[in-house]
Amino acid sequence: MSELQIRDIRPSDAGEVLTLQRAAFVSEAIIYGSVEMPPFTQTLEEVEHELAENLGCVALLGPRMVGAARARLDGSLLLIGRISIAPDVQGEGVGSRLLEALEERGRGAGATEAELFTGSLSEANLRLYERAGYRETQRVPGDGSEQVFLRKPLA
């Protein structure tokens, strides 16, 4: 995917980001047997608000948005959230490129560590994060699965 371009995420991207996240999270809804999760219940207005002050980025193939990821700084901790990859390019390195870009942005903003989470049944996500150097720090019980929190030093 050498033609993949990464740029800052913008509030004006909200509609496309929301559409992308809903498509991207269908596989997660199947794994967990529910669409009652934030990627599906979040409103356009909530996404617009979330993108107003964000260190996130989007991945573009030509004019098409194929990935989006959000991040914000909490002291020296970069909180990474809602990584969404278009279903037809999942597994082709878009998520890895977005993670690298987020980490670089975090370092530039003064973050010394990054944190993200996923569900315990999301095996592909867990493999991606572990390959990228993230290590599990906590599991929080949920409805039949757990939220798995992972961290990585950015120094």
Please write the tens of the pLDDT for every residue from 63-120.
999 999 999 999 999 999 999 999 999 999 999 999 999 999 999 999 999 999 999 9
Tell me which residue of 121, 130, 51, 48 sits closest to 95, measured CA to CA.
Answer: 130
> Taking the complete model, does pTM exceed 0.85, yes or no?
yes
Whether residue 29 is predicted with pLDDT greater than 90 in this model: the reply is no
Q: In angstroms, rounded to a whole number, what is the distance separating the alpha carbons of residues 125 and 98?
A: 13
Residue 70 vs residues 8, 61, 82, 131: alpha-carbon distances, Å: 10, 18, 6, 20
